Structure 1
């Protein structure tokens, strides 16, 4: 992945035409990727990043980005409780394309251009749906849906999909990602008219290292799979206990982990829970060659490989055993997760 690829050059041309952008971010990764998109030239001369109010991880991530130094022309705005309504013709930047509020915004306003930045595994699903049949609704990969809301969400997702595909056909849609997009899917996205720009966290890599790295050799990334009811809690904790019993482990929580679960993780022998909130891409980019990262399938696996490969750090994906999954884990979701499990030799739980 190369931030100076031809796709980025095209993005700069679009940005000069559009002039300014407003980014609505609801997670630390979305905030970081909005900064990277501006640094890559996709968002125009001036961009305003608006975090969702009431989320501590966004506050601490914004503070860390500001401490490193915002790229020129980028403003980190005061958090707001709801998605702002940018002026007509402004470039809109979002991460969660499956959000009902975001989809409603596409239908009730006329953004000049839409830029979608990474929002975890959902980004790949969005690309797959975008290149599907014309009336395929943009819906999350979940096993079950609330029957009372299913019809309404499907209708909204269908309308949003039509609007997004129309934006692609008219050259007004860009997807900015650090994820490994399969070549066939990438071609299908571009055939739809969308601009697909890959990056390697060029802005973050250019920043000085200011955070001390953990002393432990093994670093484990937390997961949201337990809280989301997709894997069994007891199986996960048994695995962690086994790791901690063999060597000291540094545990970096996922922002969605349950506080009670984190307390239990911290009680496991040999495991130290570090303060969470800031993306792992920012917290762990200074690891040394003798250290390693273990993670269940997640977006962070890919981005950390990009950031740590030059430092000789091994980033291993833990294959989720069949007996870990709950009935709520849809086959489609497992398929998306396996994409991140098979880009290396993998570790075994």
Structure 2
């Protein structure tokens, strides 16, 4: 579909992002297409690490020629003010790109648009769960909360979520695309899928210098209540010792006290990246071996590092590491992340213990 033209020129595509990874994948989507007017609307959370990475990614988006609109959309009158300000743009946009189809904020914004094209870009491994739930007609709920009862806020927001879910399916005069680096087993009928091969990342950064030894990628599975913190620390210590890892790239949601404890127990140098790891790895230096627990990077780093000589290895989550409060879906979902990465990217498996 051609770009819509209004009285003041081309009407921009709107992209709504809440995390650095979503913004990175929006840039990858734009790079994959013919040049067009794109306005990226950043809806930052309160977390300072996420906000910092979003600001750095926003600079890269501007450097790539896109307009960036930063909206303080949370707390107080923020949501109402933001929705009122975005409504005219939403009504005129020829296409809308979203990074988090589970977000209540995105659900609310989707009720205001009649864009003939909707695009979902990766928000990590959650994309796999989203597509599966959409295909099965299930309620949209993040995998680590799967199986829990809807809370009062979920029930109050249910009509909005139901409308948004309908918008995320193809219909008369509306196409839906999923732009993803992940293997998607079940895709709803009529939804178009496009492979994200990280062409923008590889053209913009690197190739990196490879350092000897291994680097270890952190995960926020402890923070989300899925993995026991003591078990996690023991696994990190075991992997570092067995593979000669010297650096630990922290997930932006990992708590400082947890990272201090890991550094003291393992001797690892803790790095808190200011950009998504795919970009950090391409800038280098990066270890010849990159060790990771189940996470998005076991699918994205092999693409970002293609042709560099760096290898990604994956460590499964032992079921004994899971907390008593972990979702019943957690074990199968995490195993699926690593199994598909081994199948698609031929990743080596490593064990902690």
Query: Counterpart of 1:22 in 2: which secondary structure?
Result: strand
Could you tell me which residue of structure 1 aligns to residue 148 of structure 2? 144
Distance 2:193 2:223 in 1: 32
Pairwise CA distance, 1:327 = 2.4
Could you tell me which residue of structure 1 aligns to residue 247 of structure 2? 250
Instruction: Report which stretch shifted further, 118-127 or 201-210.
Output: 201-210
Distance 1:212 1:309 in 2: 13
Query: Counterpart of 1:174 in 2: which secondary structure?
Result: strand
Match of 1:52 among 19, 43, 46: 43
Distance 1:130 1:334 in 2: 21
Distance 1:228 1:323 in 2: 16
Distance 2:38 2:304 in 1: 25
Could you tell me which residue of structure 2 aligns to residue 279 of structure 1? 276
Gaps of 5+ in 1: 1-12
Alignment of 1:199-348 (within 5 A): 199-209=196-206, 215=211, 217-246=213-242, 247-286=244-283, 291-342=288-339, 343-344=341-342, 345-348=348-351
Pairwise CA distance, 1:115 = 1.4
Distance 2:192 2:2 in 1: 10
235 and 80 in structure 1: CA distance in 2 versus 1, 3 angstrom threshold: same
Distance 2:154 2:57 in 1: 39
Size of the alignment, in residue pairs? Answer: 325
Pairwise CA distance, 1:121 = 1.4
Could you tell me which residue of structure 1 aligns to residue 19 of structure 2? 27
Deviations 1:269-324 (A, max 9, x none): 33000122411100012557971111111111100011223122221111101110
**Is contact 1:21-1:93 (8 Å) kept?**
yes
Distance 1:334 1:153 in 2: 28
Distance 1:217 1:273 in 2: 15
**Is contact 1:137-1:160 (8 Å) kept?**
no
Q: CA RMSD in A?
A: 2.8
100 and 57 in structure 1: CA distance in 2 versus 1, 3 angstrom threshold: closer
Alignment of 1:89-168 (within 5 A): 89-90=92-93, 91-133=95-137, 136-141=138-143, 142=145, 143-145=147-149, 147-165=151-169, 167-168=170-171
Distance 1:228 1:106 in 2: 27
Query: Counterpart of 1:267 in 2: which secondary structure?
Result: helix
**Is contact 1:137-1:159 (8 Å) kept?**
no
Distance 1:159 1:59 in 2: 33
Pairwise CA distance, 1:248 = 4.1
What TM-score, normalized by structure 2, do the two folds share?
0.82
Pairwise CA distance, 1:260 = 1.2
